[in-house]
Amino acid sequence: MTAQPTSPLISGFPGGPRLLADIGGTNARFALELAPGEIDFINVLACGDYATIADALRAYLALPEVAAVAGGGIRHGAIAIANPVTGDCVRMTNHHWEFSIEALRKECGFDVLVVVNDFTALASSLPFLSDEQKRQVGGGVPQAGAPLGLIGAGTGLGVSGLIPNMRAGKAEGWTALLSEGGHASFSPVDPLEVAILQYAWTEFEHVSAERFMSGVGIELIYRALCHHKGVAREEIAVPEIVRRALDGECALCDEVVEAFCRMLGTVAGNLGVTLGAQGGIYIGGGIVPRLGARFDRSGFRARYEAKGRFSGYLGRIPTYVITAQYPAFVGVSAILSERLLSA
């Protein structure tokens, strides 16, 4: 991602630079798109530092370097947010922010403001990812013009997909799915996962896939394994659990990471057969990329393919870890461009 223009007068867009945002339960990421594909002035703000999303947005726009480029203001903006977006009112699931899209547009002075689910935006970025922005795990070859699946574990578990728009047997554009598949009920596949689920039921009435496939989910798996093994647990958070696992300091923490990877394989395989995602399954979110080679050598891919009579079917579908640093910006930019063209 590059940026060369320093004035709105030389922006590559007739309406000047565009604001892009990727809002998660923990961090709010902002950027300016100065011309098609030129995304810069990226800044990450902690959601907890701001009472409202408008406060965070205004704080970003007030940064001296951003204000200098924005000139008289930003006319067009697009926000990807970790939450269902089904109408004007948005209430975040994993954070306290809630807002009206139209009120936010007026308050911040936009002509056009688009707000979409973050995984809808991330799904929209998939066709634009280069080979350097993704890493294949396991075998399989993508089938051209076939659906793509997307999952990602971070603060929560995002699920989406990209369906080709077919005309005369050819794909012409894509439709991103508006999914909340992370809240589907968790399904264990072996006795250890049954024990983990039974422990989770002592804390939650409904145990979704997201309860395990997330940062707090790794902590839940840790508590469950301590209970299952009858060992005293420490009060440690997910960064320390992962660090100890990756550094080889704690066998139990490594078991936690391994259980997480295998469970994610089940979710990915379920998505593959549900969507017929023969174009590939993509893995985003903040957790898996940080696991690096540990994820690649985990039981993820074996579990992904473990679908009995459909093991061969899934074996032909590749799985990729998204390594691009800010892929949601690419997707939400494409969505905003499409909205402006149709206006």
Annotated binding site: 21-26
Residues that constitute the known binding site for ATP: 21-26
Query: Computed over its alpha carbons, how large is the radius of gyration of the chain?
Result: 21
Q: What are the structural domain ranges in the chain?
A: 8-123+326-342, 131-323
Residue among 16, 36, 20 at smallest CA distance from 28:
20
Long-range contacts (CB closer than 8 Å, 24 or more residues apart) made by 57-65? 57/19, 57/21, 57/30, 57/104, 57/108, 58/108, 60/28, 60/30, 61/19, 61/108, 65/41
CA proximity to 192, closest of 251, 245, 258: 258
Spell out the alpha helix ranges (H) of the chain: 53-61, 64-70, 101-108, 118-125, 191-201, 215-229, 238-246, 251-275, 287-291, 293-296, 300-305, 311-315, 327-342
8-123+326-342 and 131-323, same CATH topology: no
Tens digit of pLDDT for each residue in 279-329? 999 999 889 999 999 999 999 999 999 999 999 999 999 999 999 988 999
Contact 83, 91 (CB under 8 A): yes
pLDDT exceeds 70 at position 95: yes
Q: How many other CB atoms sit within 10 Å of the CB of residue 106? A: 11
pLDDT, tens digit, 9 for 90 and up, residues 119-163 = 889 999 999 898 999 999 999 999 998 999 999 998 889 999 999
Q: Is the pLDDT of residue 4 over 70?
A: no
Rounded to whole angstroms, the Cα distance separating 258 from 34 reads: 42
Please report, in angstroms and rounded to a whole number, the separation of the first and last CA atoms in the chain.
27
- Give the separation between CA 217 and CA 209, rounded to whole angstroms: 9
pLDDT of residue 11: 53
Look up the CATH superfamily of 8-123+326-342.
ATPase, nucleotide binding domain (3.30.420.40)
Q: CATH assignment of 131-323?
A: 3.40.367.20
Instruction: Tell me the per-residue pLDDT of 157-183, one tens digit each, with 9 for 90 and over.
Output: 999 999 998 776 676 788 998 888 999
Residue 147: both structure tokens together: 């659906």
Which residues sit opposite 301 in a β-bridge? none
Residue 124's nearest CA partner among 171, 196, 173, 194 is 173
- What crossing angle do the helices spanning 191-201 and 251-275 adopt, rounded to 10°? 100
Read off the pTM. 0.84
Does 86 or 254 have the greater pLDDT score? 254
Confidence at residue 24, expressed as pLDDT on a 0 to 100 scale: 87
Task: Report the pLDDT averaged over residues 80-90.
Answer: 91
Q: What angle do CA 342, 18, 336 make, to 5 degrees?
A: 30
